[in-house]
Structure 1
Amino acid sequence: MYIAIAGNIGSGKTTLTEILTKRYAAKAYYEDLANPYISDFYEDMGRWSFHLQLWFLGSRIQQTLTMLADEQDNIVQDRTIYEDAHIFADNLHAMGLMASRDFDTYMKMFNIEQALLPKPDVLIYLKASVPTLIAQIKMRGREYEQNIDEEYLQRLNDKYNHWIENIYEGRVLVVDKDVDDFIADPTIIDRICASVEEMCTGKRQL
């Protein structure tokens, strides 16, 4: 079973990945935060947006190819290649922080590569309001995230909701983090797992 966790910055992807990995004796694949452009990007998004996104795209493809070669029955992935393109790169382009020429080049590479990769059996979308995201970002204390603009997070939320509702074609389980905080109430994990195990045939609200 291939489970992917999608969601905005600070939505709880890594925490849920850890929980589900233990629950299913799965192998976890986390977002690679060793991107050498990430600190520069948060200082000057326009200057470093293309470099940042291209590095993440390459890292995600490499990770997925490793997953394909893995003999594990269950895999949980923290963030997907689809988010890199349809959320982050698209948003940077819309904000004028990635040139159209760079964005077109990026999307050509993404479209070729994503066509060769398998979709998750279930994608769990962690939906959260900006105040919830900000609280989590402050709590985990990553220095380069502390000055993220609330408007930027809201734009990403809008992109995520549009992607889930209009673009992504696989099985989706939506978890509303404002209501269903699985960290505060571990019983919610049982409900998430029950839904995952039903192998949802469409978009579903927890």
Structure 2
Amino acid sequence: MNFDKYNYIVVEGPIGVGKSSLAKKLGESFGAQLLLEQPQENPFLERFYRDSARFALPTQMFFLFQRINQLRDLAQTDFFKASLVSDFLIDKDPLFARLTLDDDELNLYQQMYDHLHPQAPVPDLVIYLQAEPSTLLDRIRKRGVSVEADISENYLTRLCESYSRFFHHYDAAPLLIVNAEHLNPIERDEDFNLLVMRIRNMRGKREFFNLGE
């Protein structure tokens, strides 16, 4: 990987699509620093999946503060001396708020977001992983994380639609949209190598990758 071209890569996508695993594999394979979400630290998350209306706001606010603190810690280091791979894009954070909060809660969240939103560096590349909601649900069930046991396919469908809308308009950084329905870059090295090759060969601002292209 030419990290002179891609000093800062973000891997994004809905829960279950494999963004954290891919970010880790990219970072470990190419010696980059990792900046990862820490959902296990959110004390409201399990309750949110059981009762989203009641626990959406505290869940969302915890994640907002957590991500902002991570980015602020990063800003205190010499960011440009080391390559970085992350599994979250702070600009995407409001899509969860719009999906789960009522009007008054969303207004409160948006005020906090606008006030606290850090001047995060713009990624050199965003990799957006997509898969069908049924596929995501199957992967979530197979990994058997207790906090995720109450995630519904309906929630995943709405989440995937929100991601699609967000990235349809996203133009802040080069974007590689990857169909991860059948791609398995974590367990199949040939898939990982194909993805890396596609990243290396990117020429446009927005490109698509389906297995077999």
Give, in whole Å, the separation in 1 of the partners of 2:208 and 2:65.
32
What is the correspondence of 1:69-88 to structure 2 with a 5 Å cutoff?
A: 69-71=76-78, 72-86=81-95, 88=96
Cα 1:173/1:20, change in 2 over 3 Å: same
Q: Deviations 1:81-126 (Å, cap 9, x if unpaired)?
A: 223212x11111xxxxx22121012123323444622221111111
Report the counterpart of residue 43 of structure 2 in structure 1. 36
TM-score normalized by the length of structure 1? 0.88
Shift of 1:196: 3.3
Report the counterpart of residue 21 of structure 2 in structure 1. 15
Shift of 1:199: 6.1
Give, in whole Å, the separation in 2 of the partners of 1:113 and 1:145.
28
Shift of 1:168: 4.6
Report the counterpart of residue 196 of structure 1 in structure 2. 199
Do 1:6 and 1:83's aligned partners in 2 also have CA atoms closer than 8 Å? Answer: no
Give, in whole Å, the separation in 1 of the partners of 2:170 and 2:83.
26
Give, in whole Å, the separation in 2 of the partners of 1:54 and 1:117.
18
For residue 150 of structure 1, what is the amino acid of its counterpart? E
Q: Which moved more, 1:150-159 or 1:41-50?
A: 41-50
Cα 1:197/1:74, change in 2 over 3 Å: farther
Q: Which moved more, 1:187-196 or 1:52-61?
A: 187-196
For residue 49 of structure 1, what is the amino acid of its counterpart? A
TM-score normalized by the length of structure 2? 0.86
What is the correspondence of 1:1-206 to structure 2 with a 5 Å cutoff?
A: 1-33=7-39, 34-71=41-78, 72-86=81-95, 88-92=96-100, 98-114=101-117, 116-197=119-200, 201-206=204-209
Give, in whole Å, the separation in 1 of the partners of 2:200 and 2:75.
21
Give, in whole Å, the separation in 2 of the partners of 1:62 and 1:79.
13
For residue 139 of structure 1, what is the amino acid of its counterpart? K
Cα 1:73/1:167, change in 2 over 3 Å: same
Q: Which moved more, 1:64-73 or 1:125-134?
A: 64-73
RMSD (CA atoms):
1.9
Shift of 1:3: 0.9
Cα 1:110/1:184, change in 2 over 3 Å: same
Identity %: 28
Unaligned stretches of 5+ in structure 1?
93-97
Shift of 1:132: 1.5
How many residues end up aligned between the 2 structures? 200
Q: Which moved more, 1:48-57 or 1:162-171?
A: 162-171
